[in-house]
Copies of this chain bind each other. A is one copy, B any other.
Amino acid sequence: MAFDFLQVPEQEAVWVAAEAIRRQMEALLQALAVPAEHAQIVAEILTFASLHGVDTHGAGNILNYCGAIEQGIYTIPQRLEIVSESETTALLDCGNGLGFVAAHRAMQLSIEKARTYGVGMVSVRNGHHIGMAGFYPMMAAAQDMLGMAITNAAPSMRPLHGTLPRLGTNPIAFAAPAGQERPFLLDMATTTVANGKIALARRLGVPIPTGWAVTAAGEPITEPPVYRAGEWMQTPLGNTHEGGGHKGYGLAVMVDILCGVLSGGGFSAQLQSGENMTWTMAVDIARFRPVEEFKAMMDEMIRTLHATPTAPGGERVLVAGDPEFDTAAIRQERGIPFQRGQYEAILAGAQRLGVEIFI
C-alpha cells in the first residue's frame, strides 16, 4: 500500500499517456533486437505497474533493462526451454533473458495446465527481474482462476538476528477474482518494505521510517547509503523477534525454496544482483465449486472488510489491491507521472537508438 511521503511531487511530474509509454518501451526494446512478441510482453507489464501506481516497478525502469541488454548481461533474443514437464508442472529455463517473458510464459503454462488438470505450477530458472509480481496472478484471475507468483532475488534482507543479508526481498503475489467487486490482489515483499521504496525515498531525499533498514549491528537507520556492501540490510516483515521477524524471514525462505531450490536456479544467497528465479501457480476455481458462488462469497467478504468500523478521523480499512485499482482508474484518464529526469532520460535513450518518439 502506498505511503504518502513516497509520492512524486505532482508539480515535478511529466504526465505521459499509458499507450504512449507502452509503445515507446516496445520500440526501445525492439531496437535492441528483442523479438516483437517479447517486447510487447515487457512493455505491457511495465505499463501495468505504472498504471497501478507501482512506480518502483514501472516504466521508469525501462532504461535499466535496456542497459542490461546492451551490456550483454541478458542474452537477447532469449530462448525459453522447457527442461522438464508433467501434467501439472513444468521447469522452464529463461535462457538468461528478460525475466518478464519467462514469468509470463510460466503463468500461461500454469493456466493451460490448470484448465486441463485443475492446477498448474511452473518454476523458472536462469532468469532475471520480472517487474511487478502482481501482474502474473492477475492473468489467472482474468480466467476465473486463483493465481500466485513469487520470485527470489540476491540478498538484501537479513535473517532475524543476522549481521549479513542472506535473503532477497522475495515477494509473494496472489490474486482471486470477485463478482461485482474488484479482484483481491496481494503483492508484497517479505521484507518490511520493498527495496524500491527505499530507493525511491533516496531519490526524493526523504528519510525512511525506523525499522525498514538496520546496520550490521542491528541498529535502525533512516538514511541508508546507496551501496549496501555489508554495511546495512533490510529487515524481514515483523522486524524483531517480538514483532514476528522470524515470520517474514521464514516466508522469504519459503519463496527461496519454491523459486530457487525447486527450479535449481539457486537460492538468494547464491544469486548475483539482477538474477531472479520465479514460481507461478494457477488453480481452476470451478473444480471446487461453481465460479459464480465463489465470486458472490468474494464480494461478501470484500464488502465485510470494507465495512469494518474505523477510529474517528482515522484511515479507512482497505482490501489488498484497492490502492492499485484506485490509481489505475485515475491514470487511465490522466496518464502516468514521471520524474522529469526519468522522462528526459527515456527520451534521450529513444533518440540515441533512433526509434520513433511516442512520449
- Is A258 an interface position by the 8 A CB rule? yes
Complex contacts, A246 vs chain B, CB 8 Å: 1, 188, 318, 320
Which of A20-28, A114-122, A329-337 contacts its partner? Answer: A114-122
CA distance A317 to B172 in the complex (A): 23
CA distance A161 to B313 in the complex (A): 11
- Is A257 an interface position by the 8 A CB rule? yes
Complex contacts, A160 vs chain B, CB 8 Å: 317-318
CA distance A341 to B257 in the complex (A): 42
Say yes or no: A258-B146 contact (C-beta < 8 A), given A164-B308, A288-B263.
yes
Which residues of chain A (218-268) have a CB below 8 Å from chain B? 218, 237-239, 241-244, 246-251, 253-254, 256-258, 260-264, 266-267
Q: What does the 1/0 interface line of A109-131 toward B look like (CB < 8 Å)?
A: 00000000111010100000000
CA distance A53 to B317 in the complex (A): 36
B288 touches A123 (CB 8 A): yes
Complex contacts, A192 vs chain B, CB 8 Å: 238, 243-244
A209 touches B242 (CB 8 A): yes
- Is A88 an interface position by the 8 A CB rule? yes
Say yes or no: A262-B243 contact (C-beta < 8 A), given A163-B309, A308-B164.
no
> Contacting A211 at CB < 8 Å: which of B243, B284, B308?
B243
- Is A10 an interface position by the 8 A CB rule? no
A308 touches B166 (CB 8 A): yes
User: Which residue of B is nearest A316, CB measured?
Assistant: B161
Complex contacts, A239 vs chain B, CB 8 Å: 243
- Is A37 an interface position by the 8 A CB rule? no
Chain B nearest CB from A80 CB (Å) reads 16
Say yes or no: A267-B119 contact (C-beta < 8 A), given A209-B242, A218-B311, A253-B320.
no
Best-surrounded residue of A209, A217, A242 (most CB of chain B within 10 A): A242
A308 touches B121 (CB 8 A): no
Query: In the complex, given contacts A88-B119, A217-B311, A261-B301, what are 4 additional A-B residue pairs having Cβ atoms less than 8 angstroms apart?
Result: A118-B121, A159-B317, A250-B320, A261-B298
**The 10 residue pairs across chains A and B that have the minimum distance between CB atoms:** A162-B308, A88-B118, A250-B320, A186-B250, A89-B287, A89-B118, A209-B242, A86-B118, A88-B119, A188-B247
Give 23 A-B contacts (CB < 8 Å), ordered by A residue.
Answer: A87-B88, A87-B118, A91-B289, A118-B121, A121-B283, A146-B257, A146-B262, A162-B308, A164-B308, A186-B251, A186-B254, A217-B311, A218-B311, A238-B238, A238-B248, A239-B243, A244-B248, A249-B320, A256-B301, A257-B301, A260-B301, A262-B288, A269-B305
